[in-house]
Structure 1
Amino acid sequence: MNVKKTALIVFSAITLNGINLMITMIVNIGVLGVTLTSRSAFKHGSKHSIRRFFRTA
């Protein structure tokens, strides 16, 4: 595969991922509202929610 084709594929993949994230956030804001979306459990890779998930009983 040549370099131009590879670069086009990588750029397309990143662009499509960004569009998917944008659509997901639009749906989340539309369903939950701005307040609940901004307080979501995984905002900014929250360490607290990850610790809670892996906590042993």
Structure 2
Amino acid sequence: MERCNECIRCTVDNCRHHHNTKNYCTLDAIQVGTHEGNPTMDQCTDCKSFNIK
């Protein structure tokens, strides 16, 4: 069974690291970044660990 990291909640179910049955990530840690020069809202941030299934 795939282990989930209950410290990292995630609802992006088309990511390779998303748990199959729970809204958690299976990675031990993730990298968070931005696509903006001066981020001011949560929409400006990205999970850089995202990997499409």
Q: State the TM-score bracket (shorter-chain normalisation).
A: under 0.3
Q: Which has the higher contact order (CA 8 A, sep 6+)?
A: 2
Scaled by the length of structure 1, the TM-score of the pair is: 0.20
Structure number having the greater helix percentage = 1
Scaled by the length of structure 2, the TM-score of the pair is: 0.20
From the CA coordinates, give the structure whose radius of gyration is larger: 1
